[in-house]
Structure 1
């Protein structure tokens, strides 16, 4: 299924898929959170009250008809009043998500609005964020307070004081991607704050970054799909979904590529939700040209140059896991000399300036002659390997290590290994 397919599902199917994804990702609890869709008839489809989010089925989803008639086996969510109030205040919104994910709740408790300018795409996905004063859950008062915030057409996301967040979208995937990206930003800011300062981007920096995006890649026709190429597509999709399941990638960002023949490779497409990528969505790059009818990732030029300059590399992943991004956002060195296994797998990991992904393709590609992993400030981590499984393993090791370093920052001063210990590891494990 791709992004469009989710939105073409019946409302009960859409709600069931998305609430399940939210629950499995640890962004709501068994009893918490609710989502809704308003259809063309003006009927509101909504999650039920008091039903386990971990075992919800399409039969459990409730419908409140335009005339107020309730259809379904349960009571509608107790928060139905504010869903209805938002739909009335903003007719263009067709889907609403309310939940209590830890990062966003942290901001609601602190009564602050997160600055999403920590990475380039977040500002456009999340937009400006409102803040609603406290109201008793399930009350008409809360509905009025939230709806008042949504009366501002700039807001599609509102922090609820001492409660959580509510987000709207033109469709369910629009709302979900906003929700997922905003929670990612909050978790990253919290983790970066443990390490040091949180460095945000200016609007000018983001605009200049976007101006560096490649405008076109020459297409080629007569695409062939031999069995080895199709096998790579299947493996890539499995790994992308695994990355999403494990919180190493979110629907709005993550690029994976695998070398196919010589310097030709397959790469993820642009603007397709990572959760829902299928083998047919992946883009074949041949002789520097792109499979006709598809748009490859914006970082396709970098991936191509890495393959050309580094024959030992056969797979590349660039993504934004929370703890690695905490280092990229804080400017704190990601020091893998703190854990022997991490250094053996990753060696030293440099951090390079924001914008390097597009402004210095040649220099960055050359770095992978001697680096396996590179952090780009306020942007992403780029991981390489000789095959896709190894590349994914290095990504996992890097994020696990980054998580340990974030946790350690709350315990005491980091104590990395010295040169003597590193030299011992070089000899013992034949690391060059």
Structure 2
């Protein structure tokens, strides 16, 4: 279990995650359910027919190992398949079922999303199973789902229904759920502007083999007030990025220059939703804060700061509409509205792999542009103040969204060259 959840009651864990799922538009008022099985074998589960948008910890129901129900509501109507999964897979301690729109799209055309669309998703999601349609809430549905979990899957597409995922704890299950829905959205949006391209297993293995924590540890670490203030800024932007759908639990790096070329950066393998000040890693004199493992992209952030003195903050993330361009190779023309071009100029696309091959980094770190897209991986946004950099990210994502959605209406008509020159003279000279 995640250390941050160890002393959090199952009721509170469930309420927090259902809030995230609902607020991100990945379930409806009445749809979806979450459960946790505790060390005594009791199952804590969301109630039946209670508004997911205002669920309280006190609404969560406990179904005791002997079948006794404790709580003021009935357990979810889908409780039978939660119970069946736990009986079949003792390694699974939490289950999420929901109807997120992109995954439902796959379920109604009876397909499984290919998680090789982005670097880390295959590792997080694992192979994806498929459960044939059965009556919701029935023991029969529980049987077919349990049969899929019996094969070793932790993520299942439910035919004409939605998805169900398991994890070693609720954080693990939610990361898998969020990553799978992100893959589905990226494939759908990419299909509207081009043909999605997938990574090979060898590409993904190379990504996963990246060295972590290779920087030596610094001997003495101090935390003056200006350093702590930057930690707070980073945590706030990471949280905001997650809330806005611009970052997911399992991927996203934010850094800020501190003094000279020393900087602060988010760690690896820490859930982005739950990032705290003490998780942030200080990089001082090319060395990492003792006992912490910074992002695998730390070397690249370090080189950007070393070579680009005007850059004081960096956001590296996956947002669905920008990644639609990243997985298709389609050109993202930000000459959509004046603000987009003024903020972003042109957005470069670079080949997958340059972000972790240290001998092939010139496209990103030399004369670093405001925004770059790494194929099948991420978008990198740079700027001065961190809030400004976040604004650039939002503008880039909104521009990408407008182009993806507008594609069904007709061909994009960008701002022309004369209009761009007028903008350049007024705002950039």
3-state SS of paired residue (1:42): coil
What are the equivalent positions in structure 2 for 1:336-355 lying under 5 Å apart?
336-355=334-353
Query: For 1:218-254, what per-residue CA distance to the aligned partner results, in whole angstroms no more than 9, with x for missing partners?
Result: 0012200001111111111111111111001111011
> Could you report, residue by residue, the CA deviation over 1:30-81 in whole angstroms, capped at 9, with x for unpaired residues?
1110000111111111000011111111111111111111111010000001
Give yes or no for contact 2:30–2:50 (8 Å, CA) kept in 1.
Answer: yes
**CA RMSD across the alignment:** 1.2
Could you say if the C-alpha distance between residues 214 and 65 of structure 1 is closer, same or farther in structure 2, counting changes exceeding 3 Å? Answer: closer
Q: 1:29 and 1:51 mapped to 2: Cα distance?
A: 11
State the partner residue of 1:364.
364
Matches within 5 A, 1:312-327: 312-327=310-325
In structure 2, how many angstroms separate the alpha carbons of the residues matched to 1:123 and 1:151? 19
Aligned to 2:234: 236
Q: Classify the secondary structure of the residue corresponding to 1:414.
A: coil
Measured in 1, the distance between the counterparts of 2:213 and 2:238 equals: 25
Q: Is the 8 A contact 1:98 1:167 kept in 2?
A: yes
Distance in structure 2 (CA, Å) of the matches to 1:346 and 1:213: 32
Partner of 1:184: 182
Measure, in 2, the Cα distance between the counterparts of 1:86 and 1:7. 22
The residue number in structure 1 matching 2:76 is 77
Give, in whole Å, the separation in 2 of the partners of 1:262 and 1:228: 13
SS of the residue corresponding to residue 303 of structure 1 reads helix
Q: Is the 8 A contact 2:95 2:170 kept in 1?
A: yes
The 3-state SS of whatever aligns with 2:206 is helix
Equivalent residue of 1:337, what SS?
coil
- Shift of residue 209 of structure 1? 2.8
Distance 2:8 2:207 in 1: 36
How far the C-alpha of 1:211 sits from its partner, in A, is 3.2
Q: In structure 1, what is the Cα distance between the partners aligned to 2:341 and 2:212?
A: 35
- Residue 256 of structure 1 is aligned with which of 248, 254, 275? 254
Extract unaligned runs of 5+ from structure 2: none
**Contact 1:267/1:300 (<8 A) preserved:** yes
1:338 deviates by 2.4
Q: How many aligned residue pairs are there? A: 427
- Residue 55 of structure 2 corresponds to which residue in structure 1? 56
Q: 2: distance between equivalents of 1:294 and 1:27?
A: 33
Q: Which has the higher mean CA deviation after the structures are superposed, 186-195 or 212-221?
A: 212-221
So what's the TM-score if we normalise by structure 2?
0.97
The range that moved more, 6-15 or 263-272, is 6-15
Contact kept? 2:212, 2:293, Cα under 8 Å: no
How far residue 6 of structure 1 moved from its aligned partner, in angstroms, is: 2.3
SS at match of 1:96: strand
The answer to whether the 8 Å contact 1:103/1:186 transfers is yes
Cα distance, 1:204 vs structure 2? 1.0
2:372 paired with 1:402? no
Contact 1:3 1:276 in 2 (8 A): no
Q: Distance in 1 between matches of 2:177 and 2:212?
A: 28
1:120 aligns with 2:115: no
CA–CA distance in structure 2, aligned partners of residues 314 and 236 of structure 1: 12
Farther-moved stretch of structure 1 (142-151 vs 411-420): 411-420
Give the C-alpha shift of residue 277 in structure 1: 0.5
Whether the 8 Å contact between 1:7 and 1:172 is mirrored in structure 2 is no
1:43 aligns with 42
Post-superposition CA distance 1:11-32 (Å, at most 9, x none): 1111111111111111111111
Q: CA deviation at 1:339?
A: 2.1
> How far apart in 2 are the matches of 1:32 and 1:7?
28
Alignment of 1:4-403 (within 5 A): 4-153=3-152, 155-214=153-212, 216-359=214-357, 360-368=360-368, 371-403=369-401
Q: What is the TM-score with the length of structure 1 in the denominator? A: 0.97
Q: Is the 8 A contact 1:96 1:166 kept in 2?
A: yes
